[in-house]
Every structure is written in structure tokens, then in C-alpha cells.
């Protein structure tokens, strides 16, 4: 390993994985080698690559290549270990070995950080090495650095983000083109935006991993993936997108973390957002995170949330950060989760039933006199008041849509009222319920 007086020696990087992001990282390092060297005062060089199979399209001239990825993690001639293979099991083993070998680590692996990050950060602190993970959230958008450093003077009240490009692409196309979820998903898979098994993207698991990381650095709490309430977009119908538009809203798939006096809300779900809100106008595969601090107010971080070069931008930025502090006193480095490790505090994570917000509800009811009056009486019994109602005309005796926009209410109260309504003979099928996210407005 290098010594403090070796100030002009190259920083030697070992990289495992040769997929899209890894190839982008090699491209950025080669293209901007002089600029990077000017920023850190020494060259940054890939010396060892671990890849399980050949990639003829990738030029690895002059770089040692190993089929056994563990050889890179163990290599005593590597200063920084970059993990870009994804998944959790193999990646976890590799990073643990790299840390024990005294190497700094850079990763884009959000699932690994969200699930195992607490233990890995403790290992890194004990070994006096850094783990860079900017690329794990929102691709090329430097939102982790912004919250951890740029907004360090603030008490963060809440953050909300569109942090999965696949889901945002699907909902955008459904709104703009009037297509079904299944139709747009097929296109997203054909374009490479969605995997053959799209579960992580469309059911919110990917976004939950990212929200876990953002909440930890925003609120100074441990990574708490198991505490995130998660709901996907696979049940969103075009008709609800149309009704939302009629009410002045757009449906987006959000990750929301909010600090309250009782604890922290951690939730991923589709939500109605006022159509003029900044996040409502983030479309296609783009990502955005809105952060509200007590001093700065609301800030928005927007850009490409995935892709070879955007994500590589974040990976290389972490490499530069590591290079700048490699010889610094470890106690003076920026903490992994923004707060000093001894000050990271467990806070209650609120159950979804305690969430307070307005709701969009679509009921299918028989078109007859007195139905709306009966619905409003049941809702009033549970302190659910209405802001707007859309009652579609239909054929008497046949089911029609009844669309309700409530004032702010607890989720538990609304669910109890809907349970009572479900037993009414004039109600057909299950209610469609979506939260309305006011993005910090008083509730």
C-alpha cells in the first residue's frame, strides 16, 4: 500500500465487473485522465480488472485481468477496490475482503448498501478506510454528496424523489399516449429500460433501496430497508391517470422520507402530485429528488438516473474523493452517513396506517339516487372530508365511477371507512386508493 510521502505515485484501482457502468467508468477515466490528475495531483490508473468472461469490445491493454474476482479484492498492489457486479452475495464477500485488506471501496450497488451498509460502514471505520457509494442513488445526480455535504447546515424536514427511471418512463408514456401498463412495460423491456423480470423496478424495491440510503444521510439514522413501506405501479390504470389530470394532478412513483415529531415516514408508492409541482414535470427515464431543509428551503436535484456514462460520472467522482483523502486523518473524513458514527440515532419508523395525507379514491358504484349521500355519511363517520367529487353519468342501475379527493386524513381512518363501504350492495369491486403528496405543504 502507498505511504504518505508517495505523493506522486499513481493511485492503483482494481475493478470487478465489465458491464455497462464499468465500461463507462473505463471510458471516463481514459477520456478525462489529465483532468482527473489535475484535480488530485496524481494519476488514477486501473491496474487490475476482474471479469468472469471475455469482453472483446473492451480494450484492457496493459491491465491485469483475472477470472477469479477475489484476486482483485486481495491484490496488495491495489489501493482502491471498485465493485460494479451488482447483486448482494458475491459483492458483499468481495467488499468485505477488500476492506480487511486495507483497501478503500467504491460501489454503485444500492441493494448492498441498503441491506448490508450498516455493517460495512462499521467495518470500514474500524479499518480506517472509505466506502464511496454516490453512484448507488440516482445515477449521475450527485444527490448523496449534496445532502451529506452541501446541505450539512440544514435540518432536513423531508425529501421526495422520482428515483426509478423505468417506472417514470412507464407512467409518462401511459399519461402522454393513453396506453396500458402492460403495453408500455413491453416497450420498456424492448428498449432496455426494464429487465426481463421487471419486479425490482415496477414494484418499488429498487426505489426502496435508494430511499433507504437517502433517509439515512438526511436524518442521521441507520439504514432501515425493512422499515420502508413499498408499493409498485403495476395496478395503475389509464383511467386513474385521466381522472388525476382532470383534478389537476399527475401520478408519479415516489420515494418519500419525512421527519415528524413521532418518528420518520419511509414510503415508496404511486402518488398524485399537483401538476405544476417540479416533480410532476420530471418525465421519461429522468430522475429527480426534492429536498427540504430548514435554512435553504426546497431544492431540486434533476438528471439522468442511470446509464453508462452518467453513473460512471458518480463512480469516478467517488474515486477522486477517495484519492483526495487517502492520506488524511480518518477522523476528519466526511462520515459515510453524514453524521458522526457515534451520533447516528435510531428513530421510530412510522407504520403506514399513521400516515396523514389527502387521498384519491375511485369507487365503482351503482348509478342510483342516494348513493353519493350514503358514501359521504360513511366517510364522515370516520372524519374523512371531501375536497372534490367527480360523479360520472351512466345508465341507471349500472356501475359508474365515483371519484373522491379527500382532505388530509390518516390512512387508517380512510381504510376503515372504505371497509364499511365495501359491504354496501351498491359498491362493485375494490376501491382504487392513491395517496396525494403535497410535497411539504401543511397538512
* Angle of helix 110-127 versus helix 205-219 axis, rounded to 10: 40
Name the helix (H) or strand (E) containing 14: strand 11-16
Give the whole-angstrom CA distance, residue 276 versus residue 281: 7
- Residue of 110, 145, 210, 252 marked catalytic: 210
Q: What is the C-alpha separation between 415 and 236, in angstroms, rounded?
A: 19
Q: Are 299 and 151 in contact (CB under 8 A)?
A: yes
Strands, E assignment, 305-350: none
Q: Is the dihedral of CA 87, 90, 95, 96 positive or negative?
A: positive
What are the C-alpha distances in Å from 281 to residues 173, 290, 359? 13, 12, 21
Q: From CA 200, how far away is CA 44, in angstroms rounded?
A: 34
The 10 Å CB-count burial string (b at 16+, else e) for 172-190 is bbbbeeebebeebbeebee
Question: Is 392 one of the catalytic residues?
Answer: no
Instruction: Specify the 3-state DSSP secondary structure of 317.
Output: helix
Measured in whole angstroms, how far is the alpha carbon of residue 436 from the centre of its chain?
Answer: 19
Q: How far apart are CA 120 and CA 131, in angstroms?
A: 8
Q: Enter the DSSP assignment of 150.
A: I
Strands 427-436 and 399-406: unpaired
Other C-beta atoms closer than 10 Å to the C-beta of 355 total 22
Measured over the CA atoms of residue 210, residue 211, residue 217 and residue 218, the dihedral's sign is positive
Q: For residue 309, give the nearest of 7, 14, 4, 23 by alpha carbon.
A: 23
What order of strands is seen across the sheet that includes strand 131-132? 64-66, 44-50, 11-16, 80-83, 104-107, 131-132
| Residues catalogued as catalytic | 210
Amino acid at each position: 500500500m502507498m505511504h504518505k510521502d508517495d505523493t506522486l505515485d499513481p493511485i492503483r484501482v482494481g475493478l470487478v465487473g465489465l458491464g455497462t457502468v464499468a465500461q463507462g467508468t473505463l471510458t471516463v477515466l481514459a477520456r478525462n485522465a489529465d483532468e482527473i490528475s489535475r484535480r488530485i495531483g496524481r494519476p488514477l490508473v486501473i491496474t487490475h480488472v476482474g471479469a468472469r468472461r471475455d469482453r472483446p469490445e473492451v480494450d484492457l491493454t496493459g491491465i491485469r485481468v483475472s477470472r477469479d474476482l477475489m484476486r482483485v479484492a486481495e491484490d496488495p498492489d491495489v489501493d482502491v477496490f471498485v465493485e460494479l457486479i451488482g447483486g448482494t452475495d458475491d459483492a458483499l464477500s468481495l467488499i468485505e475482503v477488500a476492506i480487511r485488506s486495507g483497501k478503500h471501496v467504491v460501489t454503485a450497488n444500492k441493494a448492498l448498501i441498503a441491506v448490508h451498509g450498516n455493517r460495512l460502514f462499521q467495518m470500514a471505520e474500524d479499518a480506517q478506510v472509505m466506502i464511496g457509494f454516490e453512484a448507488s442513488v440516482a445515477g449521475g445526480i450527485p444527490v448523496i454528496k449534496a445532502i451529506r455535504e452541501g446541505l450539512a447546515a440544514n435540518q432536513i424536514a423531508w425529501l421526495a424523489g422520482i428515483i426509478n427511471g423505468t417506472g417514470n418512463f412507464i407512467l409518462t408514456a401511459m399519461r402522454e399516449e393513453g396506453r396500458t401498463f402492460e403495453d408500455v412495460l413491453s416497450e420498456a423491456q424492448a428498449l432496455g429500460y426494464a429487465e426481463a423480470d421487471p419486479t425490482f423496478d415496477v414494484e418499488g424495491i429498487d426505489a426502496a433501496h435508494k430511499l433507504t440510503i437517502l433517509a439515512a444521510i438526511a436524518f442521521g439514522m441507520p439504514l432501515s430497508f425493512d422499515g420502508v413501506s413499498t408499493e409498485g405501479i403495476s395496478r395503475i390504470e389509464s383511467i386513474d391517470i385521466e381522472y388525476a389530470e382532470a383534478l389537476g394532478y399527475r401520478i408519479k412513483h415516489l420515494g418519500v422520507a419525512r421527519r415528524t415529531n413521532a418518528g420518520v415516514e419511509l414510503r415508496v408508492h404511486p402518488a398524485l402530485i399537483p401538476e405544476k409541482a417540479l416533480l410532476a414535470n420530471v418525465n421519461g427515464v429522468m430522475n429527480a429528488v426534492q429536498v427540504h431543509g430548514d435554512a435553504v428551503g426546497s431544492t431540486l436535484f434533476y438528471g439522468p438516473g442511470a446509464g453508462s456514462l452518467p453513473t460512471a460520472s458518480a463512480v469516478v467522482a467517488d474515486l477522486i474523493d477517495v484519492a483526495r483523502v487517502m492520506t488524511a486523518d480518518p477522523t476528519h473524513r466526511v462520515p459515510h452517513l453524514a453524521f458522526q458514527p457515534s451520533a447516528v440515532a435510531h428513530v421510530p419508523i412510522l407504520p403506514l396506517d399513521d400516515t396523514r395525507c389527502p387521498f384519491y379514491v375511485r369507487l365503482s358504484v351503482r348509478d342510483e339516487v342516494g348513493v353519493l349521500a350514503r358514501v359521504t355519511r360513511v366517510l364522515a363517520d370516520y372524519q374523512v372530508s371531501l375536497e372534490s367529487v367527480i360523479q360520472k353519468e351512466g345508465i341507471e342501475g349500472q356501475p359508474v365511477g365515483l371519484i373522491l379527493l379527500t382532505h388530509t386524513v390518516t390512512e387508517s381512518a380512510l381504510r376503515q371507512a372504505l371497509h364499511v363501504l365495501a359491504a354496501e350492495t351498491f359498491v362493485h369491486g375494490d376501491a382504487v386508493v392513491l395517496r396525494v403528496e403535497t410535497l411539504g405543504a401543511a397538512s
